[in-house]
Every structure is written in structure tokens, then in C-alpha cells.
Chain A
Amino acid sequence: MAKAKKKGLHGLDLDVEQIRTMYYYMVLSRELDKRIWILNRQGKSAFVISGQGQEGVQVAAAMALHPETDWIAPYYRDMAMVMAFGMTPREVMLGQMGRAADPSSGGRQMPAHYGHQPKHILTGSSPVATQVVHAVGIAWSMKLQGQAGVALTSLGEGSTNQGEFHEALNFAAVHKVPLIVLVENNGYAISVPQEKEMAIQDVAVRAQGYGIPGVVVKGSDPLEVYQVIREARSRALRGEGTTLVEAKTHRFTAHSSDDDDRSYRSREHLEEEKKDDPIPRMREWMESEKLWDKDAEDALMKRIKHEVDDATEFAEASPLPAAETIYDHVYGSSPA
């Protein structure tokens, strides 16, 4: 929290309540994710893909946006982001358990393929970086229609090797669209470490090739992420176009419930990464600023446990989709 400390609390455009809210969403996401792994091991949820370690980036980015006017096009690790942007734990859990009422897909997609039309969260697929071009289109259409908003899309660093990432950034730069492209660099594309993914240290330098700013930010410092995304948003609203933000972060779990990261990442290295966990870092900083104490922590954990239990029970009790709905929503009804 070096930068935030240096600037002091009042150097941020966040009030104390927003800082606490930020922490709440980070912990909520961590605890909900842990519960999902348990459900997976119990055979109640077939697939988990985690954002543990990346919560600081995700929550800060979402909170720097305005859900009424802005859009996000997230990727599959962004549970903390979608919740900080308005999805509820119940809604997340409905998707995790493939329930009919899942707002992302009605139980059609694998878990963590978030989408929520009324809440401006774009539906996503599994082929990576496809959402980046969509976000350009959303941002471009905001500009063409004179809507005052921005789009933010996120992806892993491995996905920045896809052609669509490059096509999207070039298109965004040419048309100066109000867009933030947030790369959550956790150092791995499943098992492949960054040095085998690309010959550069910082994904952010790719921005130079398109004529847009590229910014590196420390992912475990949500206050800094917030400031950077906030500034990128202001730039976009001023008509100055797209910003590429790279947050250096960590993935504390295997790629997914079908992966075992012990085969490619040493436990020592993982322990080293866990020292940069955004959650204890944020808590310690809040304590040092006298914004938090043990009582507050206990109360928060109690509240979150209740919310996680509630989401789990709610989703478990919620009906599965009926087989005969398989033909629904292939096409809409079009006048012709």
C-alpha cells in the first residue's frame, strides 16, 4: 500500500465506507470460492475455476466503474469483479450449480461464465480473448450513440497472445473508444509460465504498438488499482480513448478443479506468491490506518459466512432446468 500511504487516505477519491466495502467484496469472494471447492469435492458442483489471489484487482476495478452507465466483459476468474459490480452470491451460486434461475445462462454454460444483461455484465464464452472485441464494440457504440459510459474488459496475460486481443486494441485505438482493457497477469496460462508465453516482462508494453497508454499496477494493492482504473475511466470519458492496464497478480489455486498445479509449480514458489495475498495486505493496511479492528473482522466474517450459507442453500433448493427447455432460445421471434 506504499502509494496509498504516501498519498494518505484523503488523497484517494474513496471514503472510508467504500474502502470497507472493497474489503468486504474481496473476502466475500474468497469465502464463496472456498465453499465452491467444497461443493465440488462433495460432488455437488462439477467444475470450479478460481480467482483466489486476484480479488484485489477485480474488486477495485469494478468499484472504479459506474454500473448504471458502464459495462464489463469479464473472464472466468472474475467472480469478485462481477459481485462488486452487482451480481449477488446467490446468483453466482445458481450458476455454479447449473440451476434454471442462473442469470448467466440458465445452467447452460460451465460455471464462472458470467453474464447479466440488466446489470451490464456481458455473457462470455470459453475461447479466450473473444470478449475483448465485444467490449470494443460496446464502447464504440456508446461513443456513436453519445452515451456517457465506458466498457471494461478483463483477461489473463496468456490470452493477450490471441489475435483478437491485438485486433481489438488496434480497432479501439483507431476509433478512440471509451474502453479499459485490464490484464490480470497471474503468471500462468494454465501450466505455461509467462516466460514461455511471451518474450516481454510487461504485457503493458504492448500498448505502445497501438498508440495507447499501457500502465502496470500491483494487483495486491487495490487502492492503487482503483486509482489507475479511475484515471483510465476519466480519460475515456474525456474522449481520449482506450487504456491498457496490467495488474501483476497471483493465482493461488490450480487452473481449475480438473488441474493439479503441483506438476508445474513448486510449493515453495506458491508459498512465496501467497505472501502477496491482497486480503491480509488490505486488512493490515486498514488496521494501521485505524479503519479496522478485530471486532470489525469478526463481524464481517460472521456476515459473510451467513451469506455464503444462504447462497449455497438457496441454490441447492432451486430447481434444475427441465430437459424440454433444451430448444428454448435458439432463435428469438422476429417479425418477418
Chain B
Amino acid sequence: MAELSYLEAIREGLRQEMERDSRIIIYGEDVGVRGGVFRVTEGLQKQFGEDRVIDSPLAEAAIIGTAIGAAVNGLRPIPEIQFADFIFPAINQIVQEAARIRYRSNGAFHVPLVIRAPFGGGVHGALYHSQSVEAFFAHVPGLKVVVPGTPYDAKGLLAAAVQDEDPVLYFEHKAAYRSLKGEVPEERYLIPIGQADLKREGQHVSIITYGLMVSYALKAAEELEKEGISVEVLDLRSVRPLDVEAILETSKKTGKVLIVHEDNLTGGIGGEVSALISEHALFYLDAPIVRLAAPDVPAMPYSAPLEHAFMVTPEKIRDKARELAKF
């Protein structure tokens, strides 16, 4: 098994899917000749040709809208939005069209579509190259939203997303692209959408998280281990649908839940996870549910002290988990 970076795992996944299914096309801004601004699609145009890996005009609503039309007529498009922050011009196409087409046509039409977008901060990307936008889409029935936290999950979730018959938003953390490495099998495998993964077992506190925060939570857990605090880490992997069973199981086991996300607090995934636990596992809890998230400011600022103040870090997670363990 090869060790791949998070970015390489996505690229290998794309390559494997395209080799497997000739209906797949990839397109977006700079994805062809340049191989993407982060180089995720590097080499793919050379391998698959200009009719399958396509540089498109800079217009997000058209990128998604044309993908919907192409999907209706038999292709399996994987459009890329260059930064998740730029997805909003396409939100009408994603929410009102892609998400609702199956429902509004009573099942006559459907839109198999994977929208890839790099998200997240900590790379001095400031307000418009750092956002976490998953909660907007997790609100919408008809969409599925996945956020891989490891190279292994990145490849397996991509395969599942491509195979899915409904629109899937695939958010990849740009700070994870080169910083995260891990074993990734060469053969194709699927990680079912909606299935969380227990990344670490523990006794005292459960951290429920996803995306880059998974690796941060694992770092925090290692440090707390030295202090005698045993932390369990549940990686949601999909934020819509949520793995309710896994969320309840870990909550019941430790009785203390810390929910962590990089997106800002109010209206985030943490609120939904917290509500599920309150509804279904209240009497197993030994402490109030705690959420650790970005502050409720419009987006991530640029300058280092401000960026640091915005970002959730392994240290912030460690401190919050320790506090909860001592409750």
C-alpha cells in the first residue's frame, strides 16, 4: 500500500474513476492545462484528453448548471469550484435545481453530479479563500455533503460520491492537501456516504468532528492521553446525511461530548449533532454538550493574529476537551 498525500489520494481517485467510467467529465476553471490551481487534476487532461478534462469559462452558475444538463443527458460530470468561497454564484443551481430535480419531477429526472471544492483556512487565504460552507448545503434535502479528513477516506468517499445517483458536494480541505499523508490502497474501494468512522477509541470524552479537524482532534487526544484523559474521536465524514447511530453510540459511551468544527458556531453542523444527542441520548450525558467552532464573525481574517484567533487549533481542542473531562 502506497503512502499518499490527501491531494494525491483525490487525484488517484479521480483517475481511477475516469478509467472505470467513460461518462465522467471533469471541468472547471484551470483544471485542464494547468491541472487546477492546487494541481489536484494535474496530468488528467493529458491522460484523458480535452473532451473529458475541460477548462471552462469563469462562471460558477454555468459550471454547475451545464453539469446538471449534461448529467440529465447521460454524462457523470465532476465539476470543480476553484474555492468553496466562490460557490455562492452557483447556489441557485445547486439548491434550487440539482437538489430539487428528482423531487420536483416525481423521480422522472435525477442528477448524478459530484461538485468538488477546496474549503477551509489556516493558509492566509483570508475571507474569500478560507471559508467552510458545508452547513449551507447540509441544510438542503436532496443534497449529500461529504468532507474527508484523511487520504484514505478522501479516495473512498470520492468513489462513493461518483457512483451516487444524486448530487454530492465533496469538500476537500486545502490545508490538508499536502500536510496529511496516509496509506491508500491502490484498488478501488467505497466508503459509504453517511457512515462515520471512529478514528480513536476512548473512555472519558467524545470529540465529534470532520475535515481537517479530525487530525487536530487526534493530536489533542494524544496529548491528553499523557495526562490520563482518554479521548474518543468520531469522524463524521458525511455531514449530510449524518450517521445518527454512531453519534449516539459514542455519546452514550463517554457521556461527555465535544463537537468541533472549523465553520462558525451558529447554525453549524454542531447544532444539529447537539440536537440529535439531546433528543435521543440526554440521560446518558454527564455534562452539557460543548461546541468548539470558529467565532461568529463574517469570515476568516488575513493577518496572522486574527487568523489564529479564528482557527480552531489542536491546542484549543485539547484545552476544551480537558475542561470537559474535568466537569
Known: A108-B106, A141-B74, A331-B142. A171 touches B96 (CB 8 A): no
Within B27-78, the residues touching A (CB, 8 Å) are 51, 56-57, 59, 61-62, 64-75, 77
> What residues of B have a CB within 8 angstroms of the CB of A141 in the complex?
69-70, 73-75
B256 within 8 A of partner (CB): no
Chain A interface: which of B161-169, B206-214, B217-225, B275-283?
Answer: B161-169
Residues of the B chain whose Cβ atoms lie less than 8 Å from the Cβ of A40: none
Question: A residues within 8 A CB of B64?
Answer: 133
User: In the bound complex, what is the Cα–Cα distance between A328 and B258 (angstroms)?
Assistant: 35
Q: Give the distance in Å from the alpha carbon of A63 to the alpha carbon of B102 in the complex.
A: 28
Question: Looking at the complex, which one of A109, A115, A125, A174 makes contact with B57 (CB distance below 8 Å)?
Answer: A174
Are A125 and B100 in touch, CB under 8 angstroms? yes
Q: Mark A120-159, 1 if CB is under 8 A from B, else 0.
A: 0011010100101111111111101101000100000000
CB atoms of B102 and A330 under 8 A apart: yes
Q: Interface 1/0s, chain B 100-128, versus A by CB < 8 A?
A: 11111111111000000000000000000
How far does the alpha carbon of A105 sit from the alpha carbon of B105 in the complex, in Å? 4
- B230 near A: Cβ within 8 Å? no
Q: Is residue A170 within 8 Å, beta carbon to beta carbon, of the partner chain?
A: yes
Given A133-B68, A141-B74, A334-B164: A170 touches B96 (CB 8 Å cut-off) = no
| Chain A 266-300: CB-based contact to B (< 8 A → 1; otherwise 0) | 00000000000000000000000000000000000
Give the complex CA separation of A328 and B71 in angstroms.
21
A-B contact count (CB 8 A): 154
Give every chain B residue within 8 A of A113 (Cβ-Cβ). Answer: 104
**Nearest B residue to A108 by beta-carbon distance?**
B104
Interface check B243, CB cutoff 8 A? no
Asked whether any CB of chain A lies closer than 8 Å to the CB of B141, the reply is: yes
- Chain B residues with Cβ under 8 A from A140's Cβ? 66, 69-70
- Give the chain A neighbours of B10 by CB distance below 8 A: none
CB nearest to A133 among chain B residues: B65
Judge whether B96 and A137 touch: CB under 8 Å. no
The interface stretch among A30-38, A161-169, A228-236 is: A161-169
Is B5 part of the binding interface, using a Cβ–Cβ cutoff of 8 Å? Answer: no
CA distance in complex: A38, B105 (Å) = 26
Per-residue 0/1 for B186-202: is the Cβ within 8 Å of any A Cβ (1 yes, 0 no)? 00001011000000000
Complex interface: chain B residues within 8 A of A104 (CB): 105
How many residues of A are in contact with the other chain, CB < 8 A? 50
B97 on the A face (CB < 8 A): yes
Asked if A122 and B72 make an inter-chain contact with CB atoms under 8 angstroms apart, the answer reads yes
Min C-beta distance of B291 to chain A, whole Å: 28
| Cross-interface CB contact of B165 among A116, A134, A333, cutoff 8 Å | A333
Complex CA distance for A151 and B66, rounded to whole angstroms:
12
B92 lies within 8 A of chain A by Cβ = yes
**A167 contacts which chain B residues (CB < 8 A)?**
57, 59, 61-62, 65
Q: Is the CB of A336 within 8 A of B164?
A: yes
The reply to whether A142 and B105 form a contact with Cβ atoms under 8 Å apart is: no
Please give the distance in Å from B144's CB to the nearest CB on chain A: 8
CB of B68 within 8 A of CB of A134, answer yes
What are the residues of chain A within 8 A of B70 when measuring CB–CB? 137-138, 140-141, 144
- A73–B59 Cα gap in the complex (Å)? 21
When C-beta atoms are compared, the residue in chain A nearest to B62 turns out to be A167
Cα separation A134 to B72 with both chains bound (whole Å): 9
- Please, how many angstroms separate the alpha-carbon atoms of A107 and B104 in the complex? 9
Q: Tell me if B273 counts as interface (CB < 8 A to partner A).
A: no
A117 within 8 A of B: yes
* A262 interface residue (CB < 8 Å to B): no
- CA A231 to CA B142, docked complex, whole Å: 40
**Which residue of the partner chain, among B51, B59, B68, B103, contacts A170 with CB atoms under 8 Å?**
B59
A234 CA / B190 CA spacing, docked (Å) = 45
Least CB separation from B54: chain A residue: A175
Contact, CB under 8 Å: B61 / A137: no
A334 to B64, CA, bound (A): 21
B166 touches A334 (CB 8 A): yes
- Are A336 and B105 interface neighbours, CB within 8 A? no
A75 nearest CB across to chain B (Å): 14
Q: CB-nearest residue of chain B relative to A100?
A: B106
B160 interface residue per 8 A CB criterion: yes
Query: Which residues 163-203 in A have Cβ within 8 Å of B in the complex?
Result: 163-164, 167-168, 170-171, 174
Render B137-159 as a binary contact track against A, CB cut-off 8 A, 1 for contact. 00001101000000000000000
Minimum distance in angstroms from B207 CB to a CB of chain A? 26
B25 at the interface (CB under 8 A from A): yes
Asked whether any CB of chain B lies closer than 8 Å to the CB of A106, the reply is: yes
Q: Which residue of B lies closest to A138 (CB)?
A: B69
A127 to chain B: which residues have CB within 8 Å? 92, 96
Q: Is the CB of A331 within 8 A of B166?
A: yes
Q: Is the CB of B69 within 8 A of A134?
A: yes
Contact of A123 among B56, B101, B142 (CB under 8 A): B101
Partner of B102 from A73, A122, A125, A332 at Cβ < 8 Å:
A332
* Minimum Cβ distance to chain A for residue B38 (Å): 23
In the complex with contacts A108-B104, A137-B70, A141-B73, A168-B141 CB distance below 8 A: no
**A333 contacts which chain B residues (CB < 8 A)?**
165
| Partner-B contacts on A (CB < 8 A) | 71, 73, 102-109, 113, 115-117, 122-123, 125, 127, 130, 132-142, 144-145, 147, 151, 163-164, 167-168, 170-171, 174, 328-336
A-B contact pairs, 16 of them (CB 8 A): A73-B69, A105-B105, A122-B109, A123-B101, A123-B108, A127-B96, A133-B61, A138-B70, A138-B72, A140-B66, A144-B75, A145-B75, A164-B62, A164-B65, A170-B57, A336-B192
Top-3 shortest CB links A-B: A137-B69, A133-B65, A106-B106
Other contacts beyond A137-B69, A138-B70, A329-B105: 10, CB < 8 A: A115-B104, A123-B105, A130-B65, A137-B68, A137-B72, A163-B89, A164-B65, A171-B57, A330-B102, A334-B193
